[in-house]
Amino acid sequence: MYKIKKVLVVGAGVMGHGIAQIFSQYYKCDVYLLDIKEEFLERGINHIKNNLEKLVDRGELEEDEKDNILHRIRPTTDIKEAYKDVDLMIEAVIEKINVKKSIFETADKLTPPDAILATNTSSFSITQIASFTQRPEKVVGMHFFNPAPILKLVEIVRGAKTSDETVEIVKEICKVIGKEPVICKKDSPGFIVNRILFPALNEAANLVEEDIADPRDIDKAVKLGLNWPMGPIELLDLIGIDTAVEILNSLSQGLNKSKYKPSPLLVKMAKVGDLGRKTKKGFYKY
- Tens of pLDDT, residue by residue over 237-251, are 998 999 899 889 988
The pLDDT value recorded for residue 3 is 82
pTM: 0.86
The β-bridge relationship of strands 139-144 and 6-10 is unpaired
Cα angle 137, 139, 143; round to 5: 140
User: What is the residue extent of each domain of the chain?
Assistant: 6-184, 194-279
Collect the ranges in the chain with pLDDT lower than 70. Answer: 1
Answer yes or no: are the C-beta atoms of 206 and 263 closer than 8 Å.
yes
Give the gyration radius of the chain's Cα atoms.
19
**C-alpha to C-alpha distance for 146 and 106, rounded to whole angstroms:** 26
Q: What positions carry a catalytic annotation? A: 122, 143, 155, 194
**C-alpha to C-alpha distance for 253 and 263, rounded to whole angstroms:** 15
The pLDDT value recorded for residue 282 is 97
Q: How far is CA 112 from each of CA 127, 139, 163, 205, 222, rounded to the nearest angstrom?
A: 21, 13, 17, 45, 48
Cα angle 89, 97, 2; round to 5: 20
Sheet holding 139-144, edge to edge: 73-76, 30-34, 6-10, 88-91, 116-119, 139-144, 153-157, 180-184
- For residue 282, give the DSSP letter: S
The pLDDT value recorded for residue 191 is 93
**C-alpha to C-alpha distance for 89 and 109, rounded to whole angstroms:** 13
The pLDDT value recorded for residue 253 is 86
The domain defined by 6-184 carries CATH number 3.40.50.2020: no
The pLDDT value recorded for residue 95 is 84
- For residue 179, give the DSSP letter: -
Domain 194-279 sits in which CATH superfamily?
A: N-(1-d-carboxylethyl)-l-norvaline Dehydrogenase; domain 2 (1.10.1040.10)
